[in-house]
Copies of this chain bind each other. A is one copy, B any other.
Amino acid sequence: MGTENFDQYREDTPGRANVADTPDRVAYYRQLQELGTGALWNVANKIEPWEPVSSSVPMLWRYEDLRGHVLKSLDLVTPEEAGRRVVYLENKGRADVVAAVGWLYSGLQTMAPGECASSHRHSASALRFIMEGSGAFTNVDGQKMTLGANDFVLTPNGTWHEHGVSEDGTICIWQDGLDIPLMNALEANFYEVHPDLQQAVSYPVDAATGTWAGAGLRPAGEQWTKRYSPLLKYEWAPTYEALQNYARVTDGSPYDGIMMDYVDPNTGGPVMQTIGASMQMLRPGEKTKAHRQTGSFVYQCAKGCGYSVINGQRFDWKERDIFVVPAWMYHEHANASDTEDACLFNFNDLPVMRALGLYREEALGENDGHQPTLSN
């Protein structure tokens, strides 16, 4: 703010600030600065934009590029040294907050058979989406869950958690998703290491799914007052089956094809208070139209191949590739196959948008709903 030019955001529109610098005014602005203040009209047009312009950029990380590096970390660091052995994804526009997009963090974690990370908890909400390997498990507040490819599992805000791979498993890789950047931005991030470094298994293995995975059913007498889903683990097989069942009775969304949100069966609401997640299926040959939303998205291709156009830029993806859609950027998806379906997992901060009354959505009206793609 030490610049000589105070009037750099002027707009010549009724209702907007439009005050030219004059010697009197500039003298006044300097006085204001000394008092820990400023003239709103010099920054009003900057801090009150007509619509959001995300500081993130659309990006795609190819799994074939990352996989080797992720595995290499097995040789470079132990889980004890590293806490967690993770390669994180860094958005070009968000390196300062270590975010993959917006306020969402994502990384790829790998563990070898017999390894187990120490137990801890934090304000950040976390999820895992399993990419490869067998024998992975997580323990959330004493609930041990076994994990396979395309399973989606929660470790909500404040829960003790640890994860590992069983002795008879194989090297595993999974995607971590967290809202660490948001928790830091909101100055509400607390962290604790478990006093025993490992926590006990207090329930039968996979008790959560045994208890809460009956559709339209809930265990009589079970109380659940926490504000995250008691189901904790969402397995791939029933998720994929649900998408196929839904496809038989719906035309789907013009923007997202056949899409289901993972929800808390106790409330019908999002799985956690600050992170939502969905799985969508693009039918053979399906090409969706473009829309944009407040909120940021991290996608992973769970099945098949195709491409997405984000803010006019085309990104081709296949299984395990990860890409991000920043807030209020148009995006549309296409399945590249005419015979196989393609599935995209995503996690997002829509629960934040909705809880604060900020969710908006807009379809692209022109060009039959499709963005002109820029040359790469």
Contact = CB atoms under 8 A, between A and B. Distances in A.
Contacts of A280: 220
Interface stretch (A119-127, A301-309, A310-318, A330-338): A119-127
B87 A61 contact: no
A95 interface: yes
Copies in the complex: 4
Interface residues of A, number: 143
Interface in A174-210: 180-181, 183-194, 197, 203-204, 206-207, 209-210
Contacts of A118: 14-15
Contacts of A41: 77, 81-86
Contacts of A213: 215-216, 242, 245
Contacts of A212: 215-216
A360 B216 contact: no
Interface string A152-186: 00000110000000000000000000001101111
Nearest to A82: B41
A219 B187 contact: no
B38 A250 contact: no
A40 interface: yes
Contacts of A81: 17-19, 41
Contacts of A122: 48
Contact of A265 (B43, B59, B186, B268): B268
Interface in A274-289: 274, 278-280
A212 B81 CA distance: 46
Contacts of A294: 186-188
A207 B256 CA distance: 19
Contacts of A32: 69, 87
A161 B299 CA distance: 39
A374 interface: no
A250 to B, nearest CB: 7
A86 B49 CA distance: 18
7 contacts: A19-B77, A28-B73, A53-B187, A185-B185, A216-B229, A265-B265, A273-B357
